[in-house]
């Protein structure tokens, strides 16, 4: 009896995992098998067409937040804007790379200018979320993963959309917006590494 249950349990787990990734990632163009055997992939990040929360344009979001922060304390809005943009290179991108490389098992992304392929992580939407102790909302990011030939950037070999990569810290101590969004990139890196694996 037990021997009959294990294959069914294994099949159910496979379907569950496949559906989990299927909801998160959708192949729009190409086939992920093209990356089979690739050890190193060059990586770029693109935030050029970014909506934030209820704002269709990131510039409008930044302008509103700067005014709000400067009303509370002179210069605070400018400091906030520097952190908002600086967190990309300082927090989000390193977290994505670290988690992708940890779970990609043999496939590594980084500054590999001579790699055959380049991965561009394009973010089109950020929900910053909030945490005010009595209530909280996770950060979330949407966008596309675009794989091109490094020597021919116009040649797209794979395009995958991702939706709803949520950032959440253990214990809920994520009062800082940057930390919540950082965790969303960590989750995206981890799940994308597993997906390609």
Provide the residue ranges of all domains of the chain, joining segments of one domain with +: 26-196
**Residue-wise over 142-171: b if at least 16 C-beta within 10 A, else e?**
bbbbbbbebeeeeeebbbbbbeebbbbbee
Structure confidence at residue 138 (pLDDT) = 78
Between the CA atoms of 28, 30, 34 and 40, what dihedral angle is there, to the nearest 10 degrees?
-50
Please check whether residue 108 is in contact with residue 196, taking contact to mean a CB–CB distance below 8 angstroms.
no
Question: Topology of 26-196 in CATH?
Answer: Rossmann fold (3.40.50)
For the chain, what is the radius of gyration of the CA atoms? 19
Structure confidence at residue 22 (pLDDT) = 39
How far apart, in whole angstroms, are the C-alpha atoms of residue 29 and residue 122? 15
Please check whether residue 81 is in contact with residue 66, taking contact to mean a CB–CB distance below 8 angstroms.
yes
Structure confidence at residue 76 (pLDDT) = 92
How far apart, in whole angstroms, are the C-alpha atoms of residue 87 and residue 176? 11
Neighbours of 179 (CB within 10 A): 16
For the chain, residues with pLDDT lower than 70 are 1-23, 130-136, 168-175
């Amino acid at each position: 009896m037990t021997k009959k249950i294990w294959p069914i349990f294994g099949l159910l787990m496979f379907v569950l995992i496949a559906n989990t990734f299927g909801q998160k990632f959708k192949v729009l163009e190409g086939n992920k098998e093209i990356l089979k055997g690739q050890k190193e992939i060059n990586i770029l990040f693109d935030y050029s067409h970014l909506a934030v929360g209820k704002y269709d344009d990131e510039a409008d979001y930044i302008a509103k937040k700067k005014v709000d922060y400067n009303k509370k304390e002179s210069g605070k809005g400018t400091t906030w804007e520097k952190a908002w943009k600086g967190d990309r290179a300082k927090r989000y991108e390193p977290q994505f790379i670290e988690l992708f490389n940890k779970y990609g098992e043999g496939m590594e992304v980084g500054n590999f200018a001579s790699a055959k392929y380049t991965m561009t992580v394009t973010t089109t939407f950020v929900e910053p979320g909030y945490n005010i102790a009595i209530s909280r909302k996770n950060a979330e990011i949407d966008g596309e993963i675009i794989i091109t030939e490094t020597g021919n950037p116009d040649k797209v070999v794979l395009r995958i959309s991702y939706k709803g990569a949520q950032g959440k810290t253990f214990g809920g101590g994520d009062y800082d917006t940057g930390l919540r969004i950082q965790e969303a990139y960590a989750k995206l890196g981890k799940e994308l590494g597993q997906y390609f694996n």
